[in-house]
Amino acid sequence: MNEVIVALAIGVLTASGTWLLLRPRTYQVVIGLSLLSYAVNLFIVAMGRLRVNAAPIVEAGRGVDPAALADPLPQALVLTAIVISFAMTSLLLVVLLAARGLTGTDHVDGQEDDA
Amino acid sequence: MTSWADHLAIVPVVLPLATGALLLLVDEQRHALKGLISLTSSTLLLAASIGLVQSVDAAGTQVYRLGAWPAPFGIVLVADRLSAVMVLLAAILGTAGMTFALARWHRAGPRFHVLLQYLLVGLNGAFLTGDVFNLFVFFELLLAASYALALHGSGTRRVRASLHYIIINLAASLLFLIGASLLYAVAGTLNMADLAQRASAIAAADRALFEAGAALLGVAFLVKAAMWPLCFWLPGTYAAAAAPVAATFAILSKVGVYAVLRTSLLLSGEDTSASAGFAAAALVYGGLATLTFGVIGVLASQHLTHVAGFSLLVSAGTLLAAIGAGHSAVTAAALYYLVVSTLGVSALYLLIELVERSREPGADVLAVTAEAFGDADQPEPEEEVGIAIPAATAILGVSFAACALVLAGLPPLPGFLAKFSLLSALLAEDTIAASDWAMMLLLTLSGLAATIAMGRAGVRIFWAPHEPIVARVRLIEIAPVALLLALCISLTLQAGTAMRYFHDAAQALHAPRGYIEEVMRPR
């Protein structure tokens, strides 16, 4: 059941993120990238196999049984990925504001479509 | 791990990192001091890179285990011939761009030197790392620095181009993460050597997942390497960037090429796995499409910076197609071509700015459109005997011609040797496939296109009958161009040594067993 929920969550986030990424407004693109990065972060955790009630660190006195432990590596990876995507999103927001100020529009091409 | 030489492999990462941190402490207004620190660090970096190339060439692959943890658990830096030469190339371009910027560009915006140092950290780390996830981290580091550098000097055009550049690369980074985590899910490791080892033992049921992960990684790399149809961001962004920045960026797309070369040969190399060469066809046809697109772009460009940008695409296409061909002789020629074309394009970006400064704005647009409409209304230049050519213009002209020769692959400069060795390596294969013929044809055509485009621009710039404006060029600006071109010339003179080095590098790449054993060897 857990697997289905996680898979659905990743799927919905990816689909919404991709749709937003292809929209013409910079704000939509930023939100789309954020949603996509949430999906990717969930995906990385899932790739370390989903485990409930398993710690990623060896506790004193409980012995070293790999079967009772969650894989710590994807958790470390996802931490790095979160930090990096957070930093990149804030950097993108700055550029977005600069673009809005300089071009006078929030279209990703810096000019409106001739519609 | 006792002598200093053992730590050489980490110097290219640590030195710019420390310099960047130090530069942050220096007040923004003290340009001379910042320039001095940056210049010192770059010189040291150059020396360290040359040392690394020499020691790797003499003693073979060096593995640097951070914290002395054994390989699959700890993080490793691996310096082999390919990594070492890429680090050296990055140091050369970084130094050239930085020196050029000292004339005035580094005052055009805040923290130019810091960003350049961090760009070098990312580049060197990406070239040296032996771990897929660290490759991601260093990619992000170099991209973050490159976003800010692309914006250096600000202005509407740069902001608009950078917005596209940042969004595309962020999306590609997400693909990178998906690919890396898929590889981890299937193989249980992210160490490249360990991955290569385990790749052959993956169960048939999981193989599709493994290949999907590798393919996603490949797409992320190819966005950086600018393979058609993932390349439309490149000419615009680089044309908008400041000249010294664009010159340093000439190596950014080569990071993607490097990553493709490294991972494709490790993960699907002939003797390691059942997935042998599963992406080769995609690389060959993608490379050829890039090459075609680049050739058309070079011919159609209205502006010299776009000629340089499309030349980068031509070079990326050639390299990708050559990597896809999958023979060690072709790879060796491709590596020589990589170094030469990167130096040539970098010099061209620097030169363009010097040239543009000395002539009327918009003259290059005329270069293309005037031909279409005919030159009828132009007055005949008066006969003059013994025109005095100003020295600066003469130097610029000679440098421009040299750049054109390198890019077009005409003798005597090394562009010719690079293309010639590519062609001869392709012809030496046992069976010459249709794609090989297509590549040979396109290679020749790309030379012709570069000759036409550069010739057209050169005639308009240096021989046009308009009122000559005497170019003002400072020594510190022409020196990096001269240095880059001198390196090209020395690559011709020392072609034997260079080709021997690249042959060894390519052979080691095509027989990854040595790399894997060196990394995995317990200490």
CA–CA separation, A105 and B338 (whole Å): 40
CB B153 within 8 A of CB B97: no
CB A93 within 8 A of CB A30: yes
The pLDDT of residue B376: 46
Residue whose entry in the numeric block shows the structure tokens 């950097």: A91
- From B51's Cα to the closest Cα of chain A, the distance in A is 33
The pLDDT of residue B371: 52
Q: Does the pLDDT value for residue B411 go beyond 90?
A: no
Q: Do B181 and A47 touch (CB under 8 A)?
A: yes
Q: Is A110 on the interface with B (CB under 8 A)?
A: yes
> B150 is written with which tokens?
């692309």
CB B85 within 8 A of CB B53: yes
The mean per-residue pLDDT over the stretch A71-90 comes to 90
Give per-residue burial for B243-258: e unless 16+ CB within 10 Å, then b: bbbbbbbbbbbbbbbb
Q: Does the pLDDT value for residue B424 go beyond 90?
A: no
> B220 is written with which tokens?
């992320």
Query: Which numeric CATH code is attached to A2-51+70-103?
Result: 1.10.287
CA–CA separation, A43 and A10 (whole Å): 7
Tell me the per-residue pLDDT of B216-274, one tens digit each, with 9 for 90 and over. Answer: 998 999 998 888 888 888 888 888 888 888 888 989 989 999 998 888 888 765 554 55
Q: Is A73 on the interface with B (CB under 8 A)?
A: yes
Give φ, ψ of B65 to 5 degrees: -95, 115
The pLDDT of residue B382: 47
Its ipTM equals 0.92
Residue spans of the domains in chain A: they are: 2-51+70-103
% residues pLDDT > 90 (chain B): 20
Farthest-apart Cα atoms in chain B, separation:
80
Q: Do B163 and A102 touch (CB under 8 A)?
A: no
The pLDDT of residue B117: 92
CB B101 within 8 A of CB B135: no
Q: Do A88 and B144 touch (CB under 8 A)?
A: yes
The pLDDT of residue B89: 93
Q: Do A40 and B174 touch (CB under 8 A)?
A: yes
Tell me the per-residue pLDDT of B77-94, one tens digit each, with 9 for 90 and over. Answer: 998 899 999 999 999 999
% residues pLDDT > 70 (chain A): 97
Mean pLDDT value across chain B: 83
Q: Is A22 on the interface with B (CB under 8 A)?
A: no
Tell me the per-residue pLDDT of B477-520, one tens digit each, with 9 for 90 and over. Answer: 888 888 888 888 888 888 888 889 998 888 888 888 888 888 88
The pLDDT of residue B240: 86
Residue whose entry in the numeric block shows the structure tokens 């050519």: B389
Tell me the per-residue pLDDT of B98-115, one tens digit each, with 9 for 90 and over. Answer: 888 888 787 777 888 899
Q: Do A44 and B147 touch (CB under 8 A)?
A: no
% residues pLDDT > 70 (chain B): 89
At position B394, the amino acid (one-letter code) is A
> B32 is written with which tokens?
């001379």
Chain B residues near residue A74 by CB distance under 8 angstroms? 181, 184
Q: Which residues pair with B129 in a beta bridge?
A: B77
CA–CA separation, A34 and A11 (whole Å): 14
- The CA-atom distances, in angstroms, between B499 and each of B300, B332, B334 are 34, 7, 10
Task: Return the residue of A nearest to B136 by Cα.
Answer: A81
Chain A residues near residue B174 by CB distance under 8 angstroms? 33, 36-37, 40, 85
Chain A residues near residue B164 by CB distance under 8 angstroms? 108
Task: Return the residue of B nearest to A87 by Cα.
Answer: B144
- From A41's Cα to the closest Cα of chain B, the distance in A is 9
Chain A residues near residue B148 by CB distance under 8 angstroms? 91
The mean per-residue pLDDT over the stretch B423-440 comes to 83
Q: Report the candidate in B74, B213, B224, B232 with the shortest Cα–Cα distance to residue B161.
A: B232
Best mean pLDDT range from A82-96, B406-420, B456-470: A82-96
CA–CA separation, B407 and B84 (whole Å): 24
The pLDDT of residue B125: 93
Q: Do A95 and B163 touch (CB under 8 A)?
A: yes
The pLDDT of residue B275: 56
Q: Does the pLDDT value for residue B364 go beyond 80?
A: no
Q: Which residues pair with A25 in a beta bridge?
A: A107
Q: Does the pLDDT value for residue B298 go beyond 80?
A: yes
How many CB contacts within 8 angstroms connect chain A with chain B?
85
Q: Which helix (H) or strand (E) holds B124?
A: helix B112-128
Q: Which residues contact B39 (CB under 8 A, 6 or more apart)?
A: B98, B99, B102
DSSP letter string, B290-352: HHHHHHHHHHH-SSHHHHHHHHHHHHHHHHHHHHHH--HHHHHHHHHHHHHHHHHHHHHHHHH
Chain A residues near residue B190 by CB distance under 8 angstroms? 73
Q: Is B167 on the interface with A (CB under 8 A)?
A: yes
Q: Return the sign of the alpha-carbon dihedral for residues B493, B496, B502, B505.
A: negative
For chain B, the 3-state helix, strand and coil shares in percent, each to the nearest 5, are: 75, 0, 20
CB B303 within 8 A of CB B364: yes
Q: Do B185 and A48 touch (CB under 8 A)?
A: yes
- Surface-to-core class of residue B201, CB atoms within 10 Å of its CB (0-12 exposed, 13-18 middle, 19+ buried): exposed
Give per-residue burial for A29-42: e unless 16+ CB within 10 Å, then b: bbbbbbbbbbbbbb
At position B463, the amino acid (one-letter code) is W
CB B109 within 8 A of CB B159: no
SS (H, E, C) A45-102: HHHCCCCCCCCCCCCCCCCCCHHHCCCHHHHHHHHHHHHHHHHHHHHHHHHHHHHHHH
- From A19's Cα to the closest Cα of chain B, the distance in A is 13
DSSP letter string, B269-306: -TTT-TTTTTTHHHHHHHHHHHHHHHHHHHHH-SSHHH
Q: Is A36 on the interface with B (CB under 8 A)?
A: yes
Q: Is B164 on the interface with A (CB under 8 A)?
A: yes
Chain B residues near residue A87 by CB distance under 8 angstroms? 144
CA–CA separation, B97 and B41 (whole Å): 14
Q: Return the sign of the alpha-carbon dihedral for residues B62, B63, B65, B66.
A: positive
Q: Do A95 and B156 touch (CB under 8 A)?
A: no
Tell me the per-residue pLDDT of B146-194, one tens digit each, with 9 for 90 and over. Answer: 998 888 887 888 888 888 899 999 999 999 999 999 999 988 888 888 8
Q: Which residues contact B468 (CB under 8 A, 6 or more apart)?
A: B390, B393
The pLDDT of residue B431: 76
